[in-house]
Amino acid sequence: MRVWETQGQRLKLVLNICVLGLALFSFSRKDTTFRSTSAFENLMIDSVTPLQRGVTFLHGEISGIFEHYVNNVSASKKNIELTKRIAQLEAEMFNLEEVQKENQRLKGYLEFGSDLNIKKILGQIVSWDSSSDYKVLRINKGIKSGIRLQSPVVTSSGLVGYIYRLTDHYADVLTILDPSNRIDGLVSRTRAHGVLEGDSDDRLIMKYVTRTKPIILNDTVITSGLGNIYPKGLRIGRVARIERESYGITQHVEVIPEVDFGGLEEVIVLVSNLDEVKKVEWEALDREDQEKR
């Protein structure tokens, strides 16, 4: 009897468990309950929905404008930074180009006059005389640097002038463009002599050239070595114009300087060692006296 009761209780328990499981499964599978809306709710939904749509659209537009503004501000800052960086790089490139040009000029100056037994002093131009009567420039070297009066001044291109005024730290150069600076020169090809003087048109006039000398355009004019100021063979310029009149014994010759005075920045001062020259002269005189004895 008890066995049947026990089996009955177990059966009831199993049945209860099955019913509870089915109930839970049905609840989990049940769709959301739908209910109908009232006329007032329909009116509110129809009235509020366009407003909500407008607010949503306005919010999106404002968000887009704000985001666009932020992006523009960020791009503007980057553009300013990039502009500054580009300007800095351009300045560095310009400085490098200037250094390269200066190195090329200095290299030419060092190579100039390698065959001349003479002291070369490099000077930088610090000012120009603006007077219309004189063509004068000033360099940053003077007596303390070993420069002397009447020392010739040149560049790797040609003749500039000579030192005519000195201080301890500065020197004034009378250029070949000044009318009072007269140079004895000769045409390299024909060896025709003449005296060159500065002209108002940044040219030189070569005077006293014999009319019969066959000078042509682009002939090179050099120093003759006469006058005890300029060494022989320094380039002065090139023949740019020739006028031969039907009368007279000379011809009018215009010469363009080899030196570009408008772009002049550095010059070379040629300083002869007078002590060594005098020593050589005295040694030569002593030898002559000994030979005579």
Tell me the residue type at 222.
I
Of residues 55, 76, 58, 170, the one with CA closest to residue 124: 170
Domain that holds residue 169: 119-273
Does the CA dihedral 190-195-201-203 come out positive or negative? positive
Residue 21 in any domain: the answer is no
Residue 39 in any domain: the answer is no
pLDDT at 97: 65
Torsion of CA 278, 282, 285, 291, to 10 degrees: -140
| Whole-angstrom distance, CA of residue 109 vs CA of residue 121 | 10
| Whole-angstrom distance, CA of residue 79 vs CA of residue 211 | 69
Residue 20 in any domain: the answer is no
- What is the greatest pairwise CA distance in the chain? 176
Of residues 135, 145, 183, the one with CA closest to residue 166: 145
Q: Give yes or no: residues 149 and 244 share one domain.
A: yes
168: exposed, middle or buried (Cβ count in 10 Å: 0-12, 13-18, 19+): exposed
pLDDT at 250: 87
Residues 6+ apart with CB under 8 A from 111: 156
Q: Give yes or no: residues 85 and 228 share one domain.
A: no
pLDDT at 277: 44
Q: Give yes or no: residues 105 and 228 share one domain.
A: no
pLDDT at 151: 93
Backbone angles phi, psi at 185, to 5 degrees: -130, 175
Residues 6+ apart with CB under 8 A from 169: 140, 141, 142, 143, 144, 145
C-alpha count within 13 angstroms, C-beta hemisphere, residue 285: 6
Taking the complete model, does pTM exceed 0.95, yes or no? Answer: no
Residue 48 in any domain: the answer is no
Residue 54 in any domain: the answer is no
| Whole-angstrom distance, CA of residue 177 vs CA of residue 129 | 12
> Residues, the chain, total?
293
Number of structural domains, the chain?
Answer: 2
Residue 254 in any domain: the answer is yes
Residues 6+ apart with CB under 8 A from 250: 207, 208, 209, 210, 211
Per-block mean pLDDT, blocks of 10 residues, the chain (293 long):
56 65 54 57 64 66 68 76 76 64 59 65 86 78 92 92 93 92 92 89 89 91 88 92 82 92 89 56 49 53
Q: Give yes or no: residues 212 and 241 share one domain.
A: yes
User: Alpha helix (H) ranges present in 194-273?
Assistant: none
Residue 41 in any domain: the answer is no
Pairing mode, if any, of strands 136-139 and 204-210?
A: unpaired
C-alpha count within 13 angstroms, C-beta hemisphere, residue 140: 7
| Whole-angstrom distance, CA of residue 268 vs CA of residue 155 | 6
